[in-house]
């Protein structure tokens, strides 16, 4: 039976009068990649920081890597890699110098060998003398991942690691994440990219401090009970304004030359599109996308900053 790398329940954290994380419970098995989804300001970063010992919960309990999150935070920190939203290494040091510094911070043995291995693994060897500040977004991302995994952590927390990075660099990054997970590393990654969420073994959706959906991408889509119709035809985009706000219509989203119309009530949704279900337009029910469900869940949640 696979053991749990993360097993926490009832986490709460407030800053002043803002209850940022509310009774969040989450379990992630060893060697799994869990996508952490949610709108900006929903508490994802705060939750990640509580899990790795950088923040102390106001209440709640549990363990990461078998260590109590309240009493053994230092043990968790030593065994966790954390990649922040913003590039946080020294831009006036070279790639190799940054990794050598990280190796000294962790008191690692065989520092030159570890740095060389990390440079080779992430394709950075040819750039080892390049200043970090001159790197493009994709190369900075590789360096940050090398730094976060240099001490061979058992848990890796990634906070929107590929924001602003081109698709090829994102794919290379995710290939490396899956390689690491195949070697037993547990990964919790926050993201706004739906294609990245679908590459995770499972996802957790947090909205305004509350965990409101959990499971594989397929399970979360099925559990939403959302109905989606796909419409095509000449100038169908002009129907968006007419359909928005009709009974049964929760969202209307253009998809290229088509429309996605979604809502939780199939009968009401069909009634809403019925006046437009004739040539030159045609409609068919399709499975909702994870993005459809993402927007649906956002609409259901109460903004705790409102």
Do 131 and 94 reside in the same domain of the chain?
Answer: yes
* pLDDT at res. 169: 85
Do 80 and 200 reside in the same domain of the chain?
Answer: yes
Q: Domain count of the chain?
A: 2
Q: What is the pLDDT of residues 101-137, one digit of tens each?
A: 999 999 999 999 999 999 999 999 999 999 999 998 8
Structural domain harbouring 275: 227-287
User: CA separation (Å) from 248 to 131, 208, 294?
Assistant: 55, 25, 18
Do 75 and 193 reside in the same domain of the chain?
Answer: yes
* pLDDT at res. 83: 94
Q: What are phi and psi of 159, to 5 degrees?
A: -105, 100
Do 52 and 143 reside in the same domain of the chain?
Answer: yes
Is 55 contained in some domain? yes
> What pairing do the DSSP bridges indicate for beta strands 33-37 and 202-207?
parallel
DSSP string spanning 49-117?
Answer: HHHTTSS--SEEEEEETTEETTT-HHHHHHTEEEE-SS--S-TTSBHHHHHHHHHHHTT-SSHHHHHHH
The CATH number covering residue 277 comes to 3.30.70.100
Is 29 contained in some domain? yes
Spans of the chain, pLDDT less than 70: 1-2, 300-306
Do 178 and 252 reside in the same domain of the chain?
Answer: no
Do 213 and 231 reside in the same domain of the chain?
Answer: no
């Amino acid at each position: 039976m696979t053991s749990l790398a993360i097993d926490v329940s009832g986490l709460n954290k407030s800053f002043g009068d803002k209850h940022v994380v509310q009774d969040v419970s989450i379990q992630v098995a060893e060697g799994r990649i869990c996508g952490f989804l949610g709108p900006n300001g929903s508490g994802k970063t705060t939750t990640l920081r509580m899990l790795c010992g950088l923040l102390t919960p106001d209440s709640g309990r549990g363990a990461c890597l078998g260590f109590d999150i309240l009493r053994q935070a230092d043990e968790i920190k030593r065994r966790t890699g954390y990649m922040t939203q913003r590039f946080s290494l020294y831009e006036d040091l070279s790639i190799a110098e940054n990794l050598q510094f990280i190796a000294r911070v962790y008191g690692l043995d065989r520092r030159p060998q570890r740095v060389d291995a990390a440079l080779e693994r992430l394709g950075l060897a040819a750039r080892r003398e390049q200043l970090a500040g001159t790197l493009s977004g994709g190369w900075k991302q590789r360096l940050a991942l090398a730094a976060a995994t240099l001490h061979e952590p058992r848990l890796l927390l990634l906070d929107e690691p590929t924001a602003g990075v081109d698709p090829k660099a994102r794919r290379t990054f995710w290939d490396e994440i899956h390689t690491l997970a195949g070697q037993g590393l547990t990964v919790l990654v926050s993201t706004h990219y739906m294609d990245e969420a679908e590459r995770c073994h499972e996802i957790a959706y947090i909205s305004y401090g509350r965990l409101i959906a959990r499971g594989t991408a397929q399970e979360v889509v099925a559990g939403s009970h959302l109905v989606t119709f796909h419409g095509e035809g000449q100038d169908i985009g002009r129907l968006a304004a007419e359909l928005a706000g009709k009974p049964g219509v929760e969202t209307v989203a253009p998809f290229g030359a088509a429309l996605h119309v979604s809502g939780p009530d199939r009968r009401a949704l069909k009634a809403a599109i019925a006046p437009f279900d004739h040539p030159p337009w045609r409609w068919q029910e399709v499975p909702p996308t994870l993005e459809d469900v993402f927007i649906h869940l956002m609409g259901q949640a109460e903004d705790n900053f409102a």
